[in-house]
Amino acid sequence: AQKVTQAQTEISVVEKEDVTLDCVYETRDTTYYLFWYKQPPSGELVFLIRRNSFDEQNEISGRYSWNFQKSTSSFNFTITASQVVDSAVYFCALRKNYGQNFVFGPGTRLSVLP
Amino acid sequence: KAGVTQTPRYLIKTRGQQVTLSCSPISGHRSVSWYQQTPGQGLQFLFEYFSETQRNKGNFPGRFSGRQFSNSRSEMNVSTLELGDSALYLCASSVAEISYNEQFFGPGTRLTVL
């Protein structure tokens, strides 16, 4: 069975601090896809990044960076120099190959205080 | 390009009634997925439709059903509503099957069952 765990329920940081959101997943499949989504107070989920299980290259995009490590089944997300607009709930998600369900983690609520 | 639209945005029903929610995907997108979001269960996958065919279904009772039309618009129906069906129902569209493709989410329909 697939499972996604986001151990941090809520995180509060002060603006300009760096923050890392943890995601640990469980799957027996060799081919799978990992995603991060952001849900601001408006409610719409916003896609941030996807990775397939064969691509462990970590990425930096502006203030965002991702650390995918298959050895520890982790797909962590870091925001550098956080801003108030980063306040949202962040979801990590896992999907097996074609035709399978999406499994979301419980989400981490990030509050960035001015 | 217009985003994913969902109607209605808010809905209040009573137990035992049925409800139909509508989703219009981004133009050119052929895949539509539905999710239920509740404080207790988090984000849960309901169905995925591609080219009018249900490709995958989450672990929900038969009271939850859906369909997709030839123009890719989708509807989901919940019959014999229960209090526990109160949730935010999110629709997402993507160009093709969602294994790897980015999904674009709508604002959701907030259903309250009294």
What is the rounded CA–CA span in Å between residue A93 and residue A107?
A: 9
Are A12 and A72 contacting, i.e. CB atoms less than 8 angstroms apart? no
Q: β-pairing, A3-5 with A59-61?
A: unpaired
Would you mind telling me the total number of residues written for chain A in this entry?
114
The whole-number average pLDDT for the span B85-110 is 86
Contact A98 B99 (CB under 8 A): yes
Model pLDDT for residues B6-45, shown as the tens digit of each residue: 999 999 999 999 999 999 999 999 999 999 999 888 999 9
Chain A contact probe: residue of B6, B26, B36, B43 with most A CBs at under 10 A:
B43
Model pLDDT for residues A16-71, shown as the tens digit of each residue: 999 999 999 999 888 888 999 999 988 889 988 888 888 777 777 889 998 999 99
Strands (DSSP E) contained in chain A are 3-5, 10-14, 19-21, 24-26, 32-39, 46-52, 59-61, 64-69, 74-79, 88-96, 102-104, 108-113
Contact A50 B43 (CB under 8 A): no
- Collapsed DSSP state (helix, strand, coil) of residue B64: strand
Q: Above 70 in pLDDT, residue B100?
A: no
Q: Above 60 in pLDDT, residue A87?
A: yes
Residues of A in contact with B44 (CB under 8 A): 104
User: In which band, very low, low, confident or very high, does the pLDDT at B66 lie, cut at 50, 70 and 90?
Assistant: very high
- Collapsed DSSP state (helix, strand, coil) of residue B51: coil
CA A82 centroid distance within chain: 15
Closest CA to A47 of A30, A64, A32: A64
Closest CA to B47 of B68, B31, B33: B33
Is any Cβ of chain A less than 8 angstroms from the Cβ of B42?
Answer: yes
Are A94 and A1 contacting, i.e. CB atoms less than 8 angstroms apart? no
**Long-range contacts of residues B56-64, Cβ cutoff 8 Å, at least 24 apart:** B56/A99, B56/A100, B56/A101, B58/A101, B60/B36
Q: Which of B56, B102, B108 sits opposite A43 (nearest CB)?
A: B108
The minimum CA-CA distance between A57 and chain B, rounded to whole Å, is 16
Chain B contact probe: residue of A101, A103, A104, A108 with most B CBs at under 10 A:
A101
- Collapsed DSSP state (helix, strand, coil) of residue A26: strand
* A85-89, A91-95, B95-99: least confidently modelled range: B95-99
